């Protein structure tokens, strides 16, 4: 299969009428997004199989981890999602007895959430699955290659953060 053909042999959406890839698909950011999306889709399927969790649910379970209880607002901030979406997912996790809710003893208006024993087992399955996926992904790299890759990712991340801040600045 060529870079510009789909699995069915048809030109892929990123190819133009001549079969050439669209210039944007050759850019580093596009290639990284493709990689990230493939990894995310694989993770979603794995965690659904291992623990019966949706992508939002496994993000919540992973974020709660083995930490002390946290507020719904703090959890929403940690996963970078809307409190409403988080609340709906939490309701499902509570009904499946993976998460327990309690009142904050310091502020009775605030609800704290934490993993139950079943939630901790799901968390551990997620961590184990993530470690396996990480090993599979990186086993093709030597120690030197991995060190270089991680250093480059750090540099690119710092540059991307600066670019984001520049876009936020008033013009």
pLDDT tens digit string along 7-38?
A: 455 555 555 566 777 788 788 889 999 999 99
Share of the chain above pLDDT 70, in %: 89
Average pLDDT in the chain: 87
Residue-level pLDDT at 114: 95
Write down the domain spans for the chain: 34-130
pTM: 0.69
Spatial distance between the Cα atoms of 70 and 16, rounded to a whole number of angstroms: 50
- For the segment 139-157, the average pLDDT, to the nearest whole number, is 96
Percent helix, strand, coil in the chain, to 5, is 65, 10, 25
Residue-level pLDDT at 23: 81
Spatial distance between the Cα atoms of 76 and 160, rounded to a whole number of angstroms: 23
Q: Are 100 and 114 in contact (CB under 8 A)?
A: yes
Q: Which fold does the domain 34-130 belong to in CATH?
A: Arc Repressor Mutant, subunit A (1.10.10)
Residue-level pLDDT at 81: 85
């Amino acid at each position: 299969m060529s870079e510009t053909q789909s699995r069915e042999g048809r030109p892929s959406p990123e190819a133009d009428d001549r079969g050439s890839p669209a210039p944007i698909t050759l850019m580093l950011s596009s290639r990284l997004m493709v990689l990230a999306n493939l990894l995310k889709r694989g993770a979603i399927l794995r965690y659904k199989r291992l623990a019966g969790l949706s992508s939002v649910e496994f993000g919540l379970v992973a974020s709660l981890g083995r930490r002390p209880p946290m507020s719904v607002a703090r959890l929403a901030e940690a996963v970078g999602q809307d409190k409403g979406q988080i609340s709906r997912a939490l309701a499902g996790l509570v009904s499946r007895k993976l998460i327990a809710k309690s009142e904050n003893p310091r502020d009775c208006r605030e609800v704290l959430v934490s993993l139950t024993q079943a939630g901790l087992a799901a968390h551990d399955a997620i961590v184990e699955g993530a470690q396996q996926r990480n090993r599979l992904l990186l086993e093709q790299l030597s120690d030197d290659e991995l060190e270089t890759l991680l250093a480059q990712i750090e540099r690119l991340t710092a540059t991307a953060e600066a670019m984001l801040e520049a876009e936020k600045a008033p013009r």
